Amino acid sequence: MTRRAVLLFSILCCGALQAAAPPPKAPAAAEAFQPHYVSQRPKEAFLREGPGYAYKVLWVYRHKGYPFQVTASYDIWRRVKDADGIVGWMSAQMLSDSRTVLVTGKGRAELRAGNDLGTKIVGLADPGAILNLKSCSGEMCRVSADRVDGWIAKNRIWGAQELGK
């Protein structure tokens, strides 16, 4: 009889402790996700309808370094948006944390020696050009490509905008 009483008491105590314990938290990665920019790692990457290889391919990107904005994460998949607003899912293996920007607008964009529009022009970038992003200061961003290093107006590039935190 005493064994039964001890066993019953143990079960009741464990149940009371579990009931008093706080509910488990969501994984830290899910809580900490923030939208951010990434770039395409290989020469060819597939944008899909959903987070999995079984989903239909919506678009094939064929330019290494193309910038994307990551808007969500699910397992090894990232929901991305491109400069044209196209949204889909890409495997994280296709993406790099290296920051690049896409030159937008009409006509060539000027790359300047300093972060002021009055400084010397050191290069020109065609719309659609991919540039490596180094930093931004005010309305200008420091970029590089091949042998050119300069500052470009932020309104002429996509991939350097502030994201809601």
Give me the residue spans of the domains in the chain: 28-97, 101-158
Res. 91: pLDDT tops 80 = yes
Per-position DSSP letters for 82-104, written without gaps between them: -TT--EEEEEGGGEES--EEEE-
**CB-based contact 158:102 (threshold 8 Å):** yes
- CATH domain 28-97 topology: SH3 type barrels. (2.30.30)
Q: What percent of the chain has pLDDT over 90?
A: 75
pTM, two decimals, is: 0.79
Q: What angle do CA 21, 26, 28 make, to 5 degrees?
A: 115
Domain 101-158 carries which CATH code? 2.30.30.40
- pLDDT tens-place string over residues 49-70: 999 999 999 999 999 999 999 9
Res. 47: pLDDT tops 50 = yes
- Hey, what long-range contacts does 84-91 have (CB within 8 A, 24 or more apart)? 86/47, 86/58, 86/59, 88/47, 88/48, 88/49, 88/58, 88/59, 89/47, 89/48, 89/49, 89/50, 89/51, 89/52, 89/55, 90/45, 90/46, 90/47, 90/48
Stretch 21-30: mean pLDDT, rounded? 50
Tokens 């990551």, residue located: 70
Res. 108: pLDDT tops 70 = yes
| Equal CATH topology for 28-97 and 101-158 | yes
Helix, strand, coil: what percent of the chain each, to 5?
20, 40, 40
pLDDT, position 163:
75
Q: Which residue has the higher pLDDT, 71 or 17?
A: 71
